[in-house]
A and B are shown apart, each in its own frame.
Chain A
Amino acid sequence: MESYHLKRIDFIFKNENDWKDVLSRALASDKQLILNELMESELKGRGGAGFPTGLKWKLTADEKSDEKHIICNADEGEPGTFKDREILTQVPFKVLVGMAICGYVIGALKGFIYLRGEYTFLMPELEKAIKEFEYYCKEINFKFSIKIFLGSGAYICGEETALFESMEGKRGEPRNKPPFPTKNGYLGKPTVVNNVETLAHTYTIFKYGAKQFYDLGVQYSRGTKLFSVSGDTPKAGIYELELGMTLEQFVDDFGDGDTKAVQVGGASGFLVPRKLFSQTIIGFKGKLEGHSLPTGGSMMLFNSSRSMFNVLSNYLYFFHEESCGQCTPCRVGCQVLLNGINEVKKGERSTLYLDKLLQLTETMKQTAKCGLGQSVANSFSSIVENFKEEMIY
C-alpha cells in the first residue's frame, strides 16, 4: 500500500477539452485585466530563475515596437528534468493557449516553440496540434501563428539570450544583459520567453482565476509545480505538488528510507544533506523561515551508496562540456574545478586547495556572463562544504 504524505494536485495534466473556450474568453477580455489576473496569481517562471511572469508580460507589453515575440522555452536541458516533455505530449493545447494569450496581451503575432533537439520525436504530434490550433485562431479571426524551432543539442541554448542567438542562426552564446529580452530579444525585438510549464500554469490561471492558484503554496511561492523525481527513489516520475514543502516532507514521501542528500534543481542547483532537510523549503527566495531553494523542478535523491565526489565530478564534467566557453570564469573555471577535485582526491594538492576552489566559485558567481557559470558555485559549494571528507578520502 502506498502512503501519501504530500497532497497530489492535478491541474496541469488534467484533461480539459475546453481550450477553445478559454482562448476565446481571454481574447474577449481586456488586456490589462489579464495582466492583473496574472500578477495577482503571483506566478513565477518555472524554468528555474523564477521571474514573476505577470511582470515579464507587462514589461514587454509596455514596449513600443512594430514586432514582438513570444517564445516557449522547451529546451529542457537541465539534468534530471523531464516534465516539459510530458506537458507537450499530454496537454499541448494548454501551452499553445498560454502562448496565444501572451501574444494577445503583449502584441505579438508570432510564437515560437524552441524544442530541444532530442525531442524531435514530439514534432509530428505537436505540429498536428499547432495546425488545429491555428485553424481555430483563423476561425475566430485571431491573427497568431506558432512555429517550432528545433534546437541542436546544446544545454546553453536553453538560456534565453543564447536561445535567441541560436534562433537567429548564430552560435548559441549568451548575450550581455542589459538589454533584457523584454526590450531587446529575438531579432532585437521585445520578447517574452517562458518555460513550457509556466505557460501551462497560465492556462489554469485564466481558466480558474488567480485565486485558485494563489491559494496553493506559500508566501512568495504560490501555486503548484511539477517535480521531476529521479535517483534513489521507488517513485521516480513527474508529480505536481504545492510549493512550500520542506525537503523533509518530500523525502518522507519519495525517499527510499536511506536518503543521504537531495540535489534540488539539477546540475545548476544545490545539494542538500540530510541534516538540512527539515530547514530547507522548496520555493522561491523570500523572507520565509529557513532556507528556500528555487528549482526548475528536478529532484534527484541519493542514498548512502552514492559517492558525493562522483556526483560533483559528474556535474563539473557536465559544466565543463556544456559551458558555451565564451567567458573566462566559466570556461576555465569549470576545468580548474574539475581538475582540482581530482588533484585533491589523488593527494596531488593539499586539502587547502579546496578552499581556493571555493573562493574561485565565488568569483564565478560574481563575474560569469550568464546563469550557467554563475550557478556552478551552487552544487560545488554545497557538496564540498557538506561532504568535505568524501572529497578528500
Chain B
Amino acid sequence: MGKNISITINGKKIEVPQGTTILEAAEKATFHIPTLCYHKDLCVAGNCRVCVVEQVGNQRLLASCATPAEENMNIITNSLKVRNARRHIIQLLLAEHKSDCTKCYKNGNCELQKIAADLRILDQEFTELKTWKAFTVDKHSPSIIKDDSKCIRCQRCVRTCAELQGVNALSVSGKGSKMHISTFMEKSMVDVVCTNCGQCVNHCPTGALVEKNYIEEVWMALADPEKHVVVQTAPAVRVGLGEEMGAKPGTRVTGKMVSALKQLGFDAVLDTDFTADLTIMEEGTELLNRLKMFLANGDKNVKLPLLTSCSPGWIKYLEHMYPEQLDNLSTCKSPQQMFGALAKTYYANAKKIDPESIVSVSIMPCTAKKFEAERPEMHDSGYRDVDYVLTTRELAIMIKQAGIELLQLEDSKYDSLMGDSTGAGVIFGATGGVMEAALRTAYEIVTGREVPFKNLNIEPVRGIEGVRSASVIIENALPGWDFLNGVELKCAIAHGLVNAKNIMDKVKAGEADFHFIEIMACPGGCLGGGGQPIPTNPEIRRKRTEAIYEEDEQMTIRKSHENPEVLKIYKDYLKEPLGEKSHHLLHTKYTPRDRY
C-alpha cells in the first residue's frame, strides 16, 4: 500500500490509505452515506448517484463511491445542497418505479424504500412516468421472478452475474428512457444461460429480482389432513435464518428452527445433513473407484478429476458451458434430491405411509434447488421426489406469517428417520466443506486412521480465496488400497462460478492434475447462497462460515461414515454405496445445453 492521505469529512479530519474512496473514508469517520448501486461484493458503478457529497469549493457534487479521497479534500456529506440533490434523485427513482410497496414481495427489505423512509420523502414531487407499464413480469423460471417495473437500473444484478458468476445471463440493453436490464434476445430467464443461482436476487436492492415463492402451496399442504408433510433443512439455513429475525449474522438457530417448523405443522422435521453424509459415502466411493481404475488398473479413460455435484447452479453452468466435461461430474444427486427420493421410498416404507400422500418440502439456502426439483430426472421414487423448495427467506416469511417468535423458542431435536447428522454433513454449507467431509471419510476408509489434522479440522481446504488447492499423501494404506500408497491426492476447491470457470478452463486444457474438485456456485458456498437472507457481503459470509464450523465442532459425531442412520440405511435398505438401489435412487445423469 502507498502512503496515507488526510481528508476532512464534516469537519472531522481522518487519515486513510491512498486509494480509499470518499465513501469508505466517511464510513471510517462514522458518517453514513446512503447508496444504491454500490455493493461490497461488486466493482464500483457510480450510476445511481445517491451517494453524492459536496467538496467545498467544487460546483459539482461527487459520487462518493467512485471518487478516491485526495489529500486535503474537504467533504460535507449532508449539506443543504447534498440533501436537495439526494432528495431529487430518490424522487426521480420513485417517479420511474412502480411504487406499490404494500403489495411488493420485498416490502420491508427494499433499499429504495428504506432510503425513501430515512429521508422521509412524503410527496411525489415529479409526475410519475408510468413507463413501467410497458414491462411484463417474467414468471417462467422455476427459481427467479424478474419484474422490471421494480428495477432502478443500478446494474448490481448485471455486475453480479458477470463478476461473481461469469455467466452473463443478464445485460443492459436499450439506451435513454428505454434502458433496461435484459437477457439474450429479451428471452425469459428460463430460456437463457441463467443457472438459477439467485445471486442476482441476493444483490438486488429492490423487488425487481426475487425468488419464485411456493409459500401458499406449502401452507395448503400443511392444512390438508390427508397429507404427510416432511421437511428437510439444508446445513446453511441454520446459520442464516436468524438474520431474518433480527439476530446478528453468524447466529446459529438450529434447534429453534426445528421448533418453529414443528409449530408450523410439518409432520416430520428432518435434516438434509443426513443425505449430505450419504453423499459422502456415495461420492467418496465413486472417487475411490475412479482412482482405483486409474491408478491400479491403468485405465487412462477414467474421467478425472471428479467434480462434485451438490450445487445445482454449478451443474447447470457446466451443462451450458462445458458440456464436454459432464462425464467428470459425480453422478451423485445433490443431498436435497437424495433426500427426496428416499423420503417417498425408504422413509415411507419404514413409517408405513403411502408415498402418494407424502408432500416433500425442503428449506434451502438456494434458488437453483427449485429448478433442480423440477428436473424431469428427479422422479426416481415414482413420484416427484421433492415437491416444494423454499428458500431460507421464504421460511422466514412463513414464520412471521404464523406469528412465531423464532428467537424466543426452545430448541427441539430433529425427528428420525433421516434426521441424524454429523459435523461432516453440516460443513457442506461452507465452501471446502464437501472436500473436508470427503477427506475425513475417504482417508479413514483407505488408511484406517483419522485424517492427520488437529481436531479433524482440515484447515488447508478452508478459507475464502476463490480457488484453493490442497493435497494429502497416502501412506500405510490398508490392504486392498495399496495402489494408493505414496500417492499425493490432489484436490481443489472453487466457489462462485467465475472461479469455477478459472479452474474448468485449466481442466479443459489438461493443465490441472487434480483428482477431486469441489465446486459451489455461490460465493462462500451454500451459506452465501441465492436463497439466504439479504443483505450479503464478505463480512456477513465470514460470520456465517464461523458459525458453520462452530456447529461442526460441537457435534459429537463429525464423520459421515459414523452417522448411525447412514449405517442403518446401508444395512437395512441400500446395502452398499453405489449398489443397485443407490444407483437407482441416489444417482442421476446430466443434459448438455446450449451456450446462449
**Chain A interface (Cβ within 8 Å of chain B)?**
154, 156, 171, 173, 176, 178, 319-329, 331-336, 339-340, 343, 349, 356, 359-360, 363, 365-369, 374
Contact = CB atoms under 8 A, between A and B. Distances in A.
B47 A327 contact: yes
Contacts of A324: 175-176, 179
Most buried by B among A319, A323, A366: A366
Contact of B176 (A178, A331, A365, A366): A331
A332 B81 contact: no
A366 B81 contact: yes
B113 to A, nearest CB: 16
A173 B175 CA distance: 10
A369 B49 contact: yes
Contacts of B50: 328
B49 A154 contact: no
19 contacts: A176-B46, A178-B68, A319-B176, A320-B176, A323-B176, A323-B177, A323-B179, A325-B172, A326-B47, A326-B172, A327-B46, A328-B153, A329-B92, A335-B96, A335-B177, A339-B127, A340-B126, A356-B125, A367-B85
B456 to A, nearest CB: 46
Interface string B389-423: 00000000000000000000000000000000000
B60 interface: yes
A320 B126 contact: no
A331 B45 CA distance: 15
Contact of A336 (B92, B171, B179): B92
Given A178-B68, A321-B176, A334-B177, A328 B129 contact: no
B215 interface: no
Interface in B167-186: 171-172, 174-179
Contact of A176 (B66, B92, B131, B179): B66
B48 interface: yes
Nearest to B85: A363
A178 B95 CA distance: 30
A332 B63 contact: no
B177 A321 contact: yes
A331 B171 CA distance: 17
Contact of A327 (B48, B125, B174): B48
B292 interface: no
Most chain A CB atoms below 10 A, which of B47, B59, B152? B47
B95 A332 contact: yes
* Interface SS of chain A: helix
B360 interface: no
A343 B126 CA distance: 11
A359 B92 CA distance: 13
A320 B177 CA distance: 6
Contact of B49 (A320, A359, A368): A368
Contacts of B48: 327-328
Given A326-B155, A367-B60, 19 more contacts: A176-B63, A320-B177, A321-B177, A323-B179, A324-B175, A324-B179, A325-B153, A326-B153, A328-B47, A331-B153, A332-B95, A334-B176, A343-B127, A356-B125, A363-B85, A366-B52, A366-B81, A366-B85, A374-B60
A335 B179 contact: no
Contacts of A356: 125-126
Contacts of A320: 176-177
B28 to A, nearest CB: 20
The 9 lowest CB-CB distance pairs between A and B, nearest first, are A325-B179, A332-B92, A176-B66, A363-B88, A326-B47, A323-B176, A176-B46, A321-B176, A366-B61
B67 interface: yes
B88 A360 contact: yes
Given A336-B92, A360-B126, A366-B60, A331 B52 contact: no
Given A325-B153, A325-B174, A367 B89 contact: yes
B136 interface: no
Given A171-B172, A320-B177, A328 B95 contact: no
B127 A340 contact: yes
Contacts of A374: 60
A264 B44 CA distance: 35
A325 B177 contact: yes
A196 B59 CA distance: 30
B237 interface: no
Contacts of B126: 336, 340, 356, 360
B297 interface: no
Contacts of B84: 359, 363
B52 A367 contact: yes
Contacts of A336: 92, 95, 126-127, 129
Contacts of A171: 171-172
Interface string B55-75: 000011101001110000000
Contacts of B88: 329, 359-360, 363, 367
A327 to B, nearest CB: 5
